[in-house]
Structure 1
Amino acid sequence: MLGGAIPFCVAVSAIADDTQVQSGDPAKEKKLEKVVVTAPAIAPKKTLNTVEMGEAAIAAKRSYTSDTAALFDDVPGLSRYGGGGVSSLPVIHGLNDDRVKVQVNGMTVASACANHMNPPLSYVDLRNIGKTQVLSGITPVSLGGDSIGGTIIVDSPEPVFAKQGEGVHTGGSVSSFYRSNGNGFGGSLNAEAATENLSIAYNGSHTQSGNYKAGDGMEVKSTRYENQNHAVTLAARSDDHLLVLNGGQQHMPYQGFPNARMDMTNNDSTFGNVGYKGRYDWGNLEAKFHYEHTQHTMNFLDDKRYTPGSNIPNEMPMYTDGKNLGYLVKAEIPLNERDILRVGNEYQRNELNDWWPPVAGNMMMGPGTFRNINKGERDRIGTFAEWDARWSDEWSSLLGLRHDHVSMDTGPVVPYDTRAGRHIPGNISANAFNAKDHSRDDDNFDVTALLRYTPDATSQFEAGYARKSRSPNLYERYAWSKGQMAMYMNGWFGDGNGYVGNVNLKPENAHTLSVTAGWHDEAKQEWEFKVTPYYTYVENYIDVDRCPVTAGTDCGAANLTKTNDFVFLQFANHAAQLYGVDVSGKLPIAKTDFGRFTAKGILGYVRGENLDTGDNLYHMMPVNAKATLDHQWGDWSNAVEFQLVAPKSVVTKVRNETQTAGYGLLNVRTGYEWKQVRVDAGVENVLDKNYDLPLGGAYLGARPYAYGANVPGMGRSAYVGVTVKF
């Protein structure tokens, strides 16, 4: 359970400024004071497109969602596409999944699943998150690497130490929640004890839900889940030094996926990490090391099983064993009052084995074990240097250069049946794959150049360019079979199509231009307005082509022309462009004896195009907007939220992507905090609107799978959550 890892960022006596900004209540913020070490975090100054969320804002969302990626629904330019109840995948400016850098408590973890059912954010429970940061625009090289989208950083609460003279400090909290749609429920326990220099903390949580219902009352099958997390953290400090050790595990007994042909039937992850942060006369030093091991199983949950006696298989076990380990060492060196130099080096290793054992009595899945990825290895070593300069009160700049060397390899593969004349597509594909050299080496370079102009206390302007690179993941390069069943089992896009890899894929190189203009009140508390247009050109964008006709396999001629069915696709490099605009703002409406009223809003537009084929890119969120009326009256907060999404009519032809209609949703929320007790309640989709998720993908919640149906969104759901601190 990566969520148990305590971040090594630190602050002086109070919670970081972002928490105070999010809460909007100065009196309330004073209650959040904690004693933490004073060694500073190593990070570049925040760009105008950096969105932070602190403890208070996160706490308000924990009761109505168990999906960590849903925390970022209010971030301009960020959307998410469908997965399980705790495993949706983030999209920033149209760039999704592995193209987005995700760090969970300093760890970079690759999905250990051919369907990406265990993305990095799924490993951290919402009740063990203290701070998040999203960089949706130009990303500094010190926070990037092996990604071409933005960066998402998730950190657990900071370690707490006793105040001077306090003796032994103890504390903790217990929380629980219930949601009506799907009968979702769960709870968590946090306990901590500390002296002035030593700290120990435990966090455990359990979340469970049945299938939810759509607005028309239809049960959306394969949407149930259960998730358990545990973690222990030890921390020690001395003067300007902090050492943190973490260990934990996650057990996910099951999670349904309504847009996948398979479900998760078990996911066990264990992790350990060590972090150090210190201040020296020459500057600041930070070092981290982590190890994570995931054992993952896919099969059919009940919704996807046929009745007894059917000749269609009801068992299709698939096992994945993934390991991630790495380190990061970085230093921040003030050269003078104007210039700061940051340098760093990191190493990330991903090991993957993906095999499908035989099914007794099934001729298609036997008699031997199918090796999908055999001894897959992906090593990346990166080095960066970053120059942060403040030229005057008005002008500042950030310039960075980064190099990442990526080495990949995998062993020989085996189909279910190696006997002559049996499972011909599998044998032909395996022989062709095994005859190739699988070893690949990529040298990737990133460049970031950012210039900020602050003419006065109420406006800021920022312009930047970034060149960012990403090498293919193990499945994009090494998924090998052109047999129908195997192709359908590989693919994390939720479109129902089948995928095959391409050993000869080149790394993606993205060139992004972005400009941001922002206006706000002098205190940056009352009102603000920000607009960000952007443009990205991607060399060797990893898109897909229809699987080329290959004799003896299921990649036949008919597959090339299908327009109303699922198809087979092969990863391929193409030139692509993405462009769009983010708009956000807030405005005080009234200050009365009954509290403060504030209006907030965001609007997003993105378009992605394959420049080689003229097709549209997949998973582009249609024009969408959100308007919220917030009310704050002492310790009582309320919100009325309107969400509007335009029809998705611009779709990709190569995948036979289906369209969705536009819709509008109304949500209401309330929360009250009194002394050591916090209560949250609300209703999502108040009007019980029936709609399809524009990024939800194809509905495959129950067999037989039928082309043309989209995954419905959740209907009305009332929720309540309670947290008691001690």
Structure 2
Amino acid sequence: MQSRIYLAVMCAWPCLAFADHLDIDAVTVEAPQTEHAVAAEQNTAQAAGDSASLVSDMFGLQLRRGGGVSSLPMMQGLADDRIRIKVDGMDLISSCANHMNPALSYIDPANIADVKVYRGLAPVSVGGDSIAGSIVVNSARPVFAVDDSLLTQASLNTFYRSNNDAFGVNASALVANQQVYLRYTGATVDANNAHAGGAFKPAGAAASDRGWLDADEIGSTAYRSTNHALALGFHLDNHLLEFKLGLQDIDKQGFVNQRMDMTGNQSEQYQLRHEARFDWGQWQTRLYHEHTRHSMNFGADKQFLYGDAPGMPMNTRGYTTGLNSQVDWLLNARDTLRLGLDVQRYRLNDDWPASGSGMMMGPGTFQNIHNGERDRNDVYAEWDAAWSQAWWTQIGLRLSEVETKAGTVQGYNPSTTPSMMMGYAMAYGIAASEFNAKDRSTRDTNVDTTWLAKYIPDEMQQYEFGYALKMRSPNLYERYTWAATNSMVTNMNNWVGDGNGYVGNASLKPEKAHTFQLTADWHDAERHDWQLKWTPFYRYIQDYIDAASCASAGYVNAGNDCPARTDGFSNLSLGNQSARMYGFDLNARKTLVADSAWGSLGAQLDINYVRGKNTTSHDDLYGVMPLNAKLALLHNYGGWKNRIQARMVDNKSHIQAIRHENETPGYMLLDLYSSYEWKKARLDVGLENVLDKFYFDPTGGAYLGQGATMGATVLQGLQVPGWGRSVNVALTLFY
């Protein structure tokens, strides 16, 4: 497969080198190390409620899929908490032992106006407590009338995706005068299970007490989600005051690579923002609060009854409160000083109610995380200097104090005498006593610094380079999940989708990443004809938090050790190790035909490569996308836009042994997209995986979409397959 990617690149390069003109407005460079996309240009039928899918089309990003609206963006081989994601300025935290509610799941694609991506060398002003970079997602900015008349805007969108029968409706409305504006956005989507491009398992009952699944049906991929957002703004002279309210209700979301499913996620997000502009600069302050009520159990494709236990309910409550304030001070024509304060308070309770009448899951409530706290206090300073038309630099420093705590816990029962049920030791008393006797409070002092430089020698070339030191403190699940006594409990704690069971390590130290990165950008003087952009990077991570044996993390005593397994998976813990990562992103664009009677024709090529190695264990890193490329032909003619795209992915042979990661063969997929826009309407049509090709998703994780997922009959070795052919249609009406 690797040779096919190289062949496609070599065949495409003569066209890219000698064609005429390409006008692409979906992605433009706005600031050093920043990629910017306008979400309104995206097809909502392709997103189908998953905001992360909008980000995946951006240069150098991929997805690690789980639930239908909860995919995780991957940046330079890293994902989840290692990327700082801000949604309308809010730093949101996943309140789930399986990370089923990541930050991007709290905003619907219909409510996204723009996305900014900072890969690797993220400025300290866009967030700390991460090591890969930052993604900043914003809804539409306030809009006010320019005269005494009333400004009104409205849109209605509906879409359908054939592969999983996803149907959704999005609506928005705006009314404003010169001082006040009010905007509402609502979105709902309902989807069934997805289907692969061919059979990957026998057809039959999903589980002993569940319905039928076809041989090509990907179990536990159905979902239903509803989001509402309300924004109210006031404009007076140089001041803007804005209040935002977000409401979410997800009443089902299957997770194909987890042993549990989401059976409910209700969230409210409140935000008050003040922005003031002065002759000397700008001052912005934001106060926000988010409350999540999250529940998990077995969905429609996973066995529900274990003995006399009707399911295994898990209930999580998360509270996030934050304050950030930033001043941009224009010192002179050359220098800008940026000063900021970030304060965040996070509270978490993760309880598993009793189920059944026995000692397996009863008689009391299992406290996975009890009175968990994660408080972060940051201050930062950033200096931008435009030395000349050719040179620009940025130096930033962020100091962060992160304090984590957890209260005393209890298991389903206080027994200290091991008893076996379903092959599991059901005595939790010893493990709980040992955890409660530990020091459960840690304070980290982290440093985040970024040194950037941009050099523009002439109109046809630009170079950006620099160094960043980034630190990330462990999340509460990494530090404080405590019971290693049986596989049932460890299986319930897994945020990577590999099918293994996990127990935390209270001794974990923060990760510390050193990143060196260069971006070389060659283009024509007007940036319309051609562009070649190359971004190599190298990252060394000290105290990298990776999977480790339970023995190495101290789980070796008779009362709280990790049992061996017979299903091919493992029970694991976490440890501080070291890692090395390097790779590159390559993007090339060229016009083939410009402004002909049939419109404009252009070509675009994206190549991504990342290699990751654990330098302590000499194992490969988990979930790294293999060499991949995307080659597209783009046609524009008035309001008509077309795209023919080939996605090529190499075979995945660098796999992490300790997590039993699966190898996957390479593949190539063909996609077709077309849209036509009138003055008051837009029609989008897409045909994805045109040839209905079967393939396995290299970052999809272990297939756990059906069966007795808490038993030993679901075996390791089957990777989550990719989706087969899908016809996608969306219609948007504007007023």
Q: TM-score, normalised by structure 1?
A: 0.91
Instruction: Judge which range, 321-330 or 72-81, deviates more.
Output: 72-81
2:254 alignment partner, one of 256, 277, 280: 256
AA paired with 1:654?
A: I
Once the two structures are superposed, residues 659-697 of structure 1 have per-residue CA deviations (whole angstroms, 9 ceiling, x without a partner) of 111111100000011111011011110000101100000
Equivalent in the alignment of 1:37:
none
CA separation in 2, counterparts of 1:682 and 1:46? 32
CA separation in 2, counterparts of 1:472 and 1:570? 13
CA separation in 1, counterparts of 2:27 and 2:344? 39
Within 5 Å, which residues of 2 pair with 1:308-347? 311=307, 313-347=309-343
Q: Percent identity?
A: 43
Within 5 Å, which residues of 2 pair with 1:352-431? 352-421=348-417, 425-431=427-433
Instruction: Judge which range, 418-427 or 571-580, deviates more.
Output: 418-427
Equivalent in the alignment of 2:18:
none
Q: CA deviation at 1:82?
A: 2.0
Instruction: Judge which range, 290-299 or 485-494, deviates more.
Output: 485-494
Q: Secondary structure at the match of 2:101?
A: coil
CA separation in 1, counterparts of 2:284 and 2:340? 9
Question: 2:136 aligned with 1:153, yes or no?
Answer: yes
CA separation in 2, counterparts of 1:264 and 1:172? 33
AA paired with 2:117?
A: V
AA paired with 2:727?
A: A
Conserved 8 A contact 1:542-1:574: yes
Equivalent in the alignment of 1:479:
481
AA paired with 2:429?
A: N
Once the two structures are superposed, residues 321-344 of structure 1 have per-residue CA deviations (whole angstroms, 9 ceiling, x without a partner) of 000110110001111111110000
Equivalent in the alignment of 1:550:
556
Equivalent in the alignment of 1:237:
235
Question: 2:173 aligned with 1:177, yes or no?
Answer: no
Q: CA deviation at 1:566?
A: 0.4
Instruction: Judge which range, 645-654 or 235-244, deviates more.
Output: 235-244
Equivalent in the alignment of 1:448:
450
Q: CA deviation at 1:419?
A: 3.2
Q: CA deviation at 1:23?
A: 5.2
User: Does the C-alpha gap of structure 1 residues 348 and 74 become closer, same or farther in structure 2, counting only changes over 3 Å?
Assistant: same
2:653 alignment partner, one of 649, 656, 665: 649
AA paired with 1:481?
A: A
Equivalent in the alignment of 1:113:
96
Q: CA deviation at 1:391?
A: 0.8
Within 5 Å, which residues of 2 pair with 1:22-101? 22=25, 46-47=31-32, 49-58=33-42, 60-101=43-84
Equivalent in the alignment of 1:722:
731
Conserved 8 A contact 2:471-2:512: yes
Equivalent in the alignment of 2:604:
600
Q: CA deviation at 1:517?
A: 0.7
Conserved 8 A contact 1:426-1:482: no
Question: 2:479 aligned with 1:465, yes or no?
Answer: no
Q: CA deviation at 1:141?
A: 0.7
CA RMSD of aligned residues (A): 1.8
Equivalent in the alignment of 2:13:
none
Conserved 8 A contact 1:63-1:178: no
Conserved 8 A contact 1:386-1:401: yes
Conserved 8 A contact 2:539-2:580: yes
1:432 alignment partner, one of 434, 447, 451: 434
Q: TM-score, normalised by structure 2?
A: 0.90
Q: Secondary structure at the match of 1:135?
A: strand
Equivalent in the alignment of 1:202:
184
CA separation in 1, counterparts of 2:155 and 2:702? 40
Conserved 8 A contact 1:232-1:248: yes
AA paired with 2:496?
A: F
Q: CA deviation at 1:64?
A: 4.9
Equivalent in the alignment of 1:30:
none
2:195 alignment partner, one of 206, 213, 222: 213
Q: CA deviation at 1:248?
A: 2.4
Q: CA deviation at 1:396?
A: 1.1
CA separation in 1, counterparts of 2:562 and 2:185? 53
AA paired with 1:223?
A: T
Q: CA deviation at 1:143?
A: 0.9
1:693 alignment partner, one of 681, 686, 697: 697
CA separation in 1, counterparts of 2:330 and 2:523? 30
Q: Secondary structure at the match of 1:428?
A: helix
Give the length in aligned residue pairs: 681
CA separation in 2, counterparts of 1:57 and 1:524? 20
1:510 alignment partner, one of 486, 509, 513: 513
Equivalent in the alignment of 1:541:
544
AA paired with 2:80?
A: D
Question: 2:675 aligned with 1:671, yes or no?
Answer: yes
CA separation in 2, counterparts of 1:126 and 1:418? 46
Once the two structures are superposed, residues 294-339 of structure 1 have per-residue CA deviations (whole angstroms, 9 ceiling, x without a partner) of 0000000120025x7x638550000000001101100011111111
Question: 2:220 aligned with 1:222, yes or no?
Answer: yes
Q: CA deviation at 1:21?
A: 5.9
Equivalent in the alignment of 2:532:
529
Q: Secondary structure at the match of 2:242?
A: strand
Conserved 8 A contact 2:483-2:489: yes
Once the two structures are superposed, residues 571-611 of structure 1 have per-residue CA deviations (whole angstroms, 9 ceiling, x without a partner) of 10001111111101110011221111110111011011111
CA separation in 1, counterparts of 2:723 and 2:542? 38
Conserved 8 A contact 2:544-2:577: yes
CA separation in 1, counterparts of 2:665 and 2:479? 35
Conserved 8 A contact 1:62-1:127: no
Conserved 8 A contact 1:62-1:126: no
Once the two structures are superposed, residues 381-435 of structure 1 have per-residue CA deviations (whole angstroms, 9 ceiling, x without a partner) of 1000011001111111111111000011010010001134256552222111101
AA paired with 1:278?
A: A
2:491 alignment partner, one of 485, 488, 491: 488
Q: CA deviation at 1:245?
A: 0.3
CA separation in 2, counterparts of 1:313 and 1:147? 40
CA separation in 2, counterparts of 1:357 and 1:78? 39
Q: Secondary structure at the match of 2:142?
A: coil
Once the two structures are superposed, residues 588-639 of structure 1 have per-residue CA deviations (whole angstroms, 9 ceiling, x without a partner) of 0112211111101110110111111111111111000001111100000000
CA separation in 2, counterparts of 1:137 and 1:298? 34
Within 5 Å, which residues of 2 pair with 1:285-304? 285-304=283-302
Equivalent in the alignment of 2:173:
191
1:579 alignment partner, one of 579, 582, 596: 582
User: Does the C-alpha gap of structure 1 residues 240 and 524 become closer, same or farther in structure 2, counting only changes over 3 Å?
Assistant: farther
Q: Secondary structure at the match of 1:461?
A: strand
Q: Secondary structure at the match of 1:621?
A: coil
User: Does the C-alpha gap of structure 1 residues 692 and 554 become closer, same or farther in structure 2, counting only changes over 3 Å?
Assistant: farther
User: Does the C-alpha gap of structure 1 residues 667 and 445 become closer, same or farther in structure 2, counting only changes over 3 Å?
Assistant: same
Conserved 8 A contact 2:331-2:337: yes
Conserved 8 A contact 1:211-1:221: yes
CA separation in 1, counterparts of 2:47 and 2:75? 23
Conserved 8 A contact 1:305-1:314: no
User: Does the C-alpha gap of structure 1 residues 45 and 556 become closer, same or farther in structure 2, counting only changes over 3 Å?
Assistant: closer
Once the two structures are superposed, residues 87-128 of structure 1 have per-residue CA deviations (whole angstroms, 9 ceiling, x without a partner) of 011111112100000000000010010000000001110111
Q: Secondary structure at the match of 1:449?
A: strand
Once the two structures are superposed, residues 199-248 of structure 1 have per-residue CA deviations (whole angstroms, 9 ceiling, x without a partner) of 01111110010001100151001000000011211001112211110112
Q: Which runs of 4+ in 1 moved over 6 A?
A: none
Once the two structures are superposed, residues 434-453 of structure 1 have per-residue CA deviations (whole angstroms, 9 ceiling, x without a partner) of 01110100000011111111
AA paired with 2:105?
A: S
Conserved 8 A contact 2:48-2:168: no
Conserved 8 A contact 1:424-1:552: no
CA separation in 2, counterparts of 1:61 and 1:318? 32
Q: Secondary structure at the match of 1:431?
A: helix
CA separation in 1, counterparts of 2:456 and 2:101? 42
AA paired with 1:201?
A: R
AA paired with 1:364?
A: M
